[in-house]
Chain A
C-alpha cells in the first residue's frame, strides 16, 4: 500500500500536468526550431499541397481555375511526350550514374592513398560541384558545339569523325550525362573517401599478412565494407538524376522564343522536369504541369522504395 500510495501521486502529478503546459515550458526550444518549420510550411508544405490541388484543375495562371477532376492524369498516362521524357530521363540517369559511381570510387581510392597534397586534391575534385550549373552548361555548350567545338576538334585530331553532340537526340543525352558526371563525381568521391576512411586499418593489415595485394584488398575489403555508403550515394543520385533539369534546359535552350524548353533536336534533352517546366511556364498549362510534377514524384518514390528495400534486405544477415 505504501508503495502504491507513494507511486500513484507521482504518476498522477505527471499526467495531471497537461501536455501543452509542458510544451509551453519548453517554448524556447520550440522557438529555436521554429524558423525552419515556418519557412518549410510557407515555402515547402503549402506549395506542395497546393500543387496537388492544382493538378486537378485547368488553369492558365491568370483567369479562374476550372476543376477538371482526373482529366490531367488521364491525359498524362496517354501522353507520348511525357513517356518520351521519362525515357530520356532514364537514359541520362543510366549514362551518368554508372560511370560516375565507378570513377568516383577510383578517385576516392586514389585520394585515400594520396600522401601529398591530399587536401588540395580533395578541393580540386569538389570544385565542379559548387560551380554554377548554368555557367558549366554554357561552357559545355561551347565545348560540344558541332562544327567549331573543342570536343569535335579533339576527335578530329585523333582521326575520328565529328559527333553530333547537340544536334542529335542521343548526342544531347550523352552531353548532358557527361556534364552531370563531371559535376557529381568529385562530390561522390569525397563521400566514398569518408566511407573508406572509416574502415578499420587492422582489417587491411590482417589481409596484407595473409598475402593480399592492393587490388585484392580493394575488391575483398573496401567494396563490401563500403556498401552502406554506396547505397546512400545511389539513392541520392537516383533522386537528383531523375530530377535533372538545369543541364538540359541550358544546353538545349538557346535564345529561342518560338519553341522554348522543348529539349532540343528530337526532344532528346526533354527530361521529365523540363517537360513539366515547359507545360507550366512556357505553355501556361499550370494544372497539367502540376499533374506531371506528381507523376515525377510517384516515379521517384517507386525507385527510392526499390533501392531502400534492396538495401535493408541485403543488410539484414549481417546484423
Chain B
C-alpha cells in the first residue's frame, strides 16, 4: 500500500495541477452576472479617495451585504475590461468625471436612473453636473458624488508683504478678469521677483478651457480647435508666459511641492479638491492660505459619479445604497475627510461645514465654492476631447522650452485635426 501511494503521488499532483488549471481557465471565460446577486449582497467598485472611508463603513453597517473593492491605478481600464469580458461587473461602480463622456457612448452598459425612483434626490444635484452624465436622448447614467468648482488659492502673508489686498473679496475683485489677474501678478513680482502666478502654461490653458462652454469637439463631432474659445485660452496662456508669470513646472511634481512650500507659487488656481493637494504637500504653510473666486469666472474641474451597471440584478437595492452614500450627512463627512466637494446641494447646509478651515486661517471656504457652483456653465464634453486637446498641451510645453508660439499654435491645430479625423 505504502509503495503504491508513494508511486501514485506525482500522478495525483499532476491531476491536481490540471484540475486547478482548468478551473482557472473556466474562470477566465465569460460568466455573465455575479452569482452573489440573488442573496442580497452587492458589490461596489471605487478608487482610493473616491468616497470617504467613514461613509463606506457607515453604509456597510446598515447594508451588511455591501462589499466594497477599492481599486487603484487605471480605474477606467479595469472597469472597461470587466464590461468587455462581461464578467465580474460590480453592482455599483464609480465613474470619474473625465471618463464619463467615454462611457456615455455606450449607455446600454448602465442603468438609466430615470427608470428608477430618484425623484426624491435628483433635485438636490446641480443641473450642470447631471448634464455631464446624461445622454443626448435623456438617459441619466449616474448620480454625482462630488463636483470640482475651482477657486484661486493664495498666500495671504506673501500678498501682504507685497502691499496687495489680502481679503478674499478684495483679492477676488482685483483678479476678476485674466487681464486684472496678470496685472496683479506683475505687482506681486515687483515686491517678490521669485513669485509666479501659475504653475505651467498648459495648466492655465486647461483652467481657461474649463471655464469655456464649448470645448474641442462639438456635439455633432465638428472640430472646435480653432474656435474663439480655444484661441482665447491659448492667447492668454501665451501672454502669461511671455509676461513671466508662469513658473513652467509640472503640476503635482516634486518641483511643484517644493515651490509651493518655498512660497514661489503664492497663488494657485484649482478645483476644491486641489486644497487637499496643497495641504498634503505643504502642511507647514497651514493658516497662511485663503481662497477666492477664479479669475475669469467659475470652472469645474473633475467630480465623479456613482452608476449602476445594466447587469445588476437588484437595481432597487443598489440605488438604495447609492442614496445612502450620497445622503447630505454623508456628503458632509466626505468633504471634511477627503476634500471632495459635495455634489448634493443640501449637504452644504449640514452643521459644521461653514465653520471655517484652519488651514485657510479659519476662512469659510465652502461658501466660496458654493458661489462658484451656482454660476457654473453647462458644457458638452466629447469623448474625443482628451485626444483632440492633447496636442495643445504638448505644444504649450514646447513654447516653455523656446518654440515660437505661432508655429506651436499651427502645429497644435494640425495635430488636433488629425487626431479628430483618425479617431
A interface, CB within 8 angstroms of B? 28, 31-32, 34-35, 38-39, 42, 60-63, 75, 81, 141-142, 145-149, 164, 166-169, 254-259, 262, 264-267, 281-285, 288
Contact = CB atoms under 8 A, between A and B. Distances in A.
B21 A145 contact: no
Interface in B64-115: 74, 77, 80, 83-84, 98, 102-103, 105-106, 109
A61 B249 contact: no
B315 to A, nearest CB: 21
A285 B387 CA distance: 10
Given A35-B17, A146-B255, A62 B249 contact: no
B18 A31 contact: yes
A112 to B, nearest CB: 39
A267 B394 contact: yes
B254 A145 contact: yes
Given A62-B80, A265-B398, A257 B98 contact: yes
B112 to A, nearest CB: 17
Contacts of B206: 258
Given A35-B21, A264-B397, 11 more contacts: A32-B14, A81-B415, A141-B254, A147-B264, A148-B259, A166-B253, A167-B250, A254-B251, A267-B394, A283-B386, A283-B390
A31 B254 CA distance: 52
Chain B CB count within 10 A is highest, among A63, A148, A282, for A148
A255 to B, nearest CB: 4
Contacts of B98: 257
B3 interface: no
A28 B98 CA distance: 53
Nearest to A59: B84
A260 to B, nearest CB: 8
Chain B contact surface mostly: helix
Contacts of B83: 62
Contacts of A257: 98, 302
Chain A contact surface mostly: loop
Contacts of A265: 397-398, 400-401
B394 to A, nearest CB: 6
Contacts of B422: 75, 285, 288
Contacts of B103: 62
Interface of B: 10-11, 14-15, 17-18, 21, 25, 28, 74, 77, 80, 83-84, 98, 102-103, 105-106, 109, 202, 206, 248-255, 258-259, 262, 264, 302, 383, 386-387, 389-390, 393-394, 397-398, 400-401, 415, 419, 422-423
A167 B258 CA distance: 16
Given A34-B21, A262-B393, A281-B74, A149 B255 contact: yes
Contact of A283 (B84, B387, B400): B387
Q: Which 5 A-B pairs have CB atoms at the shortest separation, nearest pair first?
A: A148-B258, A259-B393, A283-B387, A255-B252, A31-B14
A284 B102 contact: yes
Contacts, number: 119
B123 to A, nearest CB: 30
Contacts of A256: 250-252
Contacts of A34: 17-18, 21
Chain A CB count within 10 A is highest, among B202, B397, B415, for B397
A75 B360 CA distance: 52
A259 B84 CA distance: 25
Contacts of B398: 265-266
Given A62-B80, A262-B390, A254 B253 contact: yes
Chain A CB count within 10 A is highest, among B15, B202, B250, B419, for B250
A141 B253 contact: yes
B252 A145 contact: no
A249 B180 CA distance: 38
Contacts of B401: 164, 167-169, 265-266
B48 to A, nearest CB: 13
Given A42-B28, A148-B262, A266-B397, A254 B252 contact: yes
A213 B217 CA distance: 72
17 contacts: A32-B14, A35-B17, A61-B80, A62-B83, A62-B105, A63-B105, A147-B259, A147-B264, A149-B254, A166-B250, A256-B252, A258-B389, A265-B401, A266-B397, A282-B387, A283-B386, A283-B387
Given A31-B17, A283-B386, A255 B251 contact: yes
B21 to A, nearest CB: 5
A266 B389 CA distance: 15
B274 to A, nearest CB: 11
A169 B394 CA distance: 12
Nearest to B80: A61
Contacts of B77: 281
A307 B196 CA distance: 51
B9 to A, nearest CB: 11
Chain A CB count within 10 A is highest, among B28, B252, B255, for B255
A166 B397 CA distance: 12
A257 B209 CA distance: 14
Given A61-B80, A265-B400, A267-B394, A146 B202 contact: no
Given A61-B80, A146-B255, A283-B387, A254 B250 contact: yes
A145 B422 CA distance: 36
